[in-house]
């Protein structure tokens, strides 16, 4: 056999093997898709209607992070993820929790509430406070509220503190740590591997880029961070103390003295929490279940396996039972458009859970072109992002104001940097005392890798038609004159930011500059400095918008969201009518929650940096998100 013949034979064998793999892969996918369709159709025809038992307890059991707006996942992809067990980080909508509590208080079938935070990962203080207020309103119905978990972390305990009775496992604990701001600094590591990160910024307190500049937090950042962290901690202590009929100092003492208290109790966490009156009883699951059967009655229908269950309905089942399948807008000629801006601000089109400059601008345009819309309430829950995308959004908001629409901003947990950029021109800005806002500054980053390349004998050289040719190639050193160009652009961007805020807030640029410099403020401190107008909830902002538009008590609230494609709507409708949806309601184990939290903490900053896509590389971002 000749060498040529051998080569041809080898090629034919390799080609045949590749064809086999390719066809096998596609066949496998087709089989999986067919199985999915069979399961979907089967579940549709076996659909069971959710019924709320008379005298039941509503289980308020948020899953994962409590968010302003859930991250969008394509309905088909969501079904495939669920089928494979790859659900990703769980999320619960704040609006869903408030909706459930408001309706359950009036529902005669609901005799009480059980707060189960076992699978809740965390929430921002503004969201916790909104739920706390809703729990207080629920309690005015006279229905009892119980809380049950083996372990309470800080955000979980905040919700539990509103219960009439708080149960904890005898081997459980209540862990209150206070609030902190800790970041990973890797300047020395970058120096070690030779990566040269060129940082351009304006603002003494613009600390977002400090991990690339230093190995520790600067004194300026510590000063600013400590100030707003104290506001959050004071609010937490005050709210919990009021709910538990304790003092804020009691909560402070519990946290500060915890190591000694644990030593005195010989390591008995639950005993420490009970003696501090943070919980009312120590119960194991069997004891708690028996008490709830006594309170709400047994759900036993003649089956031995559920004779110890009590009458109950989960939050998601309750939503399915009471929420209409299609929410139609009212016929009122006066409307207030509620638009949510949640997540990092990125250029272009983005799914829900992130703010796309073009995407959000289109939603605002829909409100602007609707003659029935008399006012817009923009709910901002964002730490910022792209300066260009922020400006695209701001321009559309100005167009809406020019069209006669009143504009009110309601700030959530964060409305900082780019989040403030899009808020500044509102007729009124509302925030909670614990909102994190401000961070009026701007930065840019440009890494070059010439040192590690040169170390291994890789060099670059060439010619160009102008001095600018190849000026910003990441494999070559950045020349000082080009660095000066970037800094001038950053300076111009900061001046533009100051101008926007000064016009929007009716302040001089000099006065804005004094409270800007990239400094982060709490909502409480921002009010004192003129960056916000009022402190209050989202509902307060909606009421204010109605007053400004002279339509109080005579309007419909319309939520404007990014619309699904016809295909996505069809799949979503099919899934919501099927029992496949029940997969969403499956509880996440505590171990999975713990692992997910670690993954989130480790990857969050890198993911955010990787997603930045401003055309000029200019960012108004505070990177001030607290760890859950």
The lowest-confidence range among 77-86, 145-154, 244-253, 394-403 is: 77-86
Among 43, 118, 386, 417, which one carries the catalytic annotation?
A: 417
Q: Which residues pair with 116 in a beta bridge?
A: 148
- Region 343-372 average pLDDT: 95
pLDDT at 310 over 70: yes
User: How many angstroms separate the CA atoms of 277 and 97, rounded?
Assistant: 27
User: How many angstroms separate the CA atoms of 381 and 410, rounded?
Assistant: 9
Q: Is 206 a catalytic residue?
A: yes
Q: What pLDDT, on a 0 to 100 scale, did the predictor assign at position 610?
A: 60
The lowest-confidence range among 372-376, 567-571, 580-584 is: 580-584
Q: What pLDDT, on a 0 to 100 scale, did the predictor assign at position 509?
A: 96
- Region 120-141 average pLDDT: 97
**Contact call for residues 122 and 157 (beta carbons, < 8 A):** no
pLDDT at 319 over 50: yes
**Contact call for residues 310 and 298 (beta carbons, < 8 A):** yes
CA 134 to chain centre: 20
Q: Is 382 a catalytic residue?
A: no
User: How many angstroms separate the CA atoms of 472 and 464, rounded?
Assistant: 13
For 63-119, the pLDDT digits (tens) are 999 999 998 876 655 555 554 455 556 899 999 999 999 999 999 999 999 999 999
What is the band of 522 on the pLDDT scale with cuts at 50, 70, 90? Answer: very high
pLDDT at 580 over 60: no
Q: Identify the CA nearest to 70 among candidates 86, 97, 92.
A: 92
CATH superfamily of 335-578+607-621: 2-enoyl-CoA Hydratase; Chain A, domain 1 (3.90.226.10)
What is the band of 331 on the pLDDT scale with cuts at 50, 70, 90? Answer: confident
pLDDT at 38 over 90: no
Q: What pLDDT, on a 0 to 100 scale, did the predictor assign at position 50?
A: 78
Q: What pLDDT, on a 0 to 100 scale, did the predictor assign at position 73?
A: 75
- Region 323-335 average pLDDT: 80
User: Comparing 564 with 465, which gets the higher pLDDT?
Assistant: 465
- Region 544-558 average pLDDT: 95
Among 206, 342, 405, 581, which one carries the catalytic annotation?
A: 206
The H-or-E segment that residue 337 falls in is: strand 335-342
Residue 273 contacts by C-beta under 8 Å, 6 or more apart in sequence? 152, 168, 172, 173, 174, 279
List every span in the chain annotated with CATH 3.90.226.10: 56-179+220-324, 335-578+607-621
Question: What does the mean pLDDT of the chain come to?
Answer: 85
Assigned CATH for 56-179+220-324: 3.90.226.10
User: How many angstroms separate the CA atoms of 123 and 146, rounded?
Assistant: 20
**Contact call for residues 451 and 196 (beta carbons, < 8 A):** yes
DSSP-based three-state secondary structure for 270: helix
pLDDT at 212 over 60: yes
pLDDT at 473 over 60: yes
- Region 471-476 average pLDDT: 86
User: How many angstroms separate the CA atoms of 248 and 240, rounded?
Assistant: 8
For 268-290, the pLDDT digits (tens) are 999 999 999 999 999 999 999 99
pLDDT at 587 over 50: no
Q: Which residue has the tokens 């800094």?
A: 487
Q: Which own/partner contact pairs does 498-501 have at CB distance under 8 Å and 24+ positions apart?
A: 498/440, 500/394, 500/421, 500/424, 500/425, 501/420, 501/424, 501/440, 501/531
pLDDT at 532 over 80: yes
């Amino acid at each position: 056999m000749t060498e040529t013949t051998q080569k041809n034979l080898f090629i034919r064998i390799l080609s045949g093997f590749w064809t086999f793999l390719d066809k096998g892969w596609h066949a496998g996918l087709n089989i999986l898709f067919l199985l999915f369709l069979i399961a979907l159709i089967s579940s549709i025809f076996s659909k069971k209607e959710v019924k709320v038992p008379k005298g039941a307890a509503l289980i308020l059991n948020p899953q994962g992070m409590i968010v302003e707006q859930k991250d969008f996942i394509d309905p088909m992809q969501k079904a495939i993820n669920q089928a494979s067990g790859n659900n990703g980080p769980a999320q619960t909508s704040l609006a869903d929790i408030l909706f459930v509590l408001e309706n359950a208080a009036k529902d005669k079938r609901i005799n009480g509430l059980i707060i189960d935070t076992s699978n809740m990962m965390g929430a921002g203080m503004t969201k916790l406070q909104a739920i706390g207020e809703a729990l207080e309103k629920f309690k005015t119905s006279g229905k009892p509220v119980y809380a049950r978990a083996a372990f309470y972390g800080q955000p979980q305990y905040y919700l539990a503190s509103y219960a009439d009775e708080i149960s904890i496992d005898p081997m459980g604990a209540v862990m209150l740590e206070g609030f902190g701001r800790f970041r990973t600094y890797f300047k020395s590591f970058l120096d070690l591997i030779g990566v040269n990160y060129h940082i351009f910024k304006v603002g003494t307190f613009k600390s977002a880029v400090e991990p690339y500049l230093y190995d520790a937090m600067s004194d300026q950042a510590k000063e600013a961070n400590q100030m707003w962290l104290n506001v959050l901690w004071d609010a937490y202590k005050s709210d919990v103390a009021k709910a538990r009929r304790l003092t804020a100092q009691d909560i402070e003492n519990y946290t500060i003295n915890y190591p000694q208290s644990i030593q005195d109790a010989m390591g008995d966490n639950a005993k420490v929490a009970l003696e501090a009156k943070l919980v009312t009883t120590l119960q194991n699951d069997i004891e708690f279940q028996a008490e709830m059967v006594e309170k709400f009655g047994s759900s036993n229908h003649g089956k031995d396996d559920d004779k110890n269950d009590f009458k109950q309905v989960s939050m998601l089942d309750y939503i399915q039972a009471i929420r209409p399948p299609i929410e139609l807008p009212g016929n009122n000629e006066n409307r207030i458009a509620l638009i949510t801006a949640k997540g990092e601000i990125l250029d272009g089109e983005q799914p829900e859970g992130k703010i796309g400059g073009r995407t959000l601008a289109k939603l605002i345009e829909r409100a602007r072109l609707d003659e029935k819309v008399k006012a817009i309430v923009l709910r901002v829950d964002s730490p910022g992002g792209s300066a260009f995308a922020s400006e695209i959004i701001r321009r559309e908001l100005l167009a809406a104001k020019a069209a006669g629409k009143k504009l009110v901003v309601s700030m959530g947990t964060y409305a900082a940097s780019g989040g403030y950029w899009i808020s500044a021109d509102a007729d009124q800005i509302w925030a909670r005392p614990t909102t994190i806002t401000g961070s009026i500054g701007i930065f840019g980053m440009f890494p070059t890798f010439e040192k590690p390349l040169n170390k291994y004998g890789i060099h670059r050289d060439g010619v160009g038609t102008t001095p600018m040719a190849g000026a910003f190639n990441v494999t070559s050193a950045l020349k000082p004159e080009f660095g000066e160009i970037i800094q001038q652009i950053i300076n111009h961007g900061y001046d533009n930011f100051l101008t926007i805020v000064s016009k929007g807030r009716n302040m001089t640029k000099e006065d804005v500059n004094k409270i800007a410099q990239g400094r982060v403020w709490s909502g409480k401190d921002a009010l004192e400095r003129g960056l916000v107008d009022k402190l209050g909830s989202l509902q307060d902002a909606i009421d204010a918008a109605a007053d400004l538009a002279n339509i109080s008590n005579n309007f419909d609230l319309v939520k404007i969201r990014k619309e699904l494609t016809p295909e996505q709507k069809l799949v979503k409708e099919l899934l919501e009518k099927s029992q496949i949806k029940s997969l969403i309601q499956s509880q996440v184990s505590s171990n999975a929650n713990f692992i997910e939290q670690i993954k989130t903490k480790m990857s969050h900053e890198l993911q955010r940096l990787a997603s930045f896509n401003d055309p000029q590389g200019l960012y108004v971002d505070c990177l001030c998100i607290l760890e859950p």
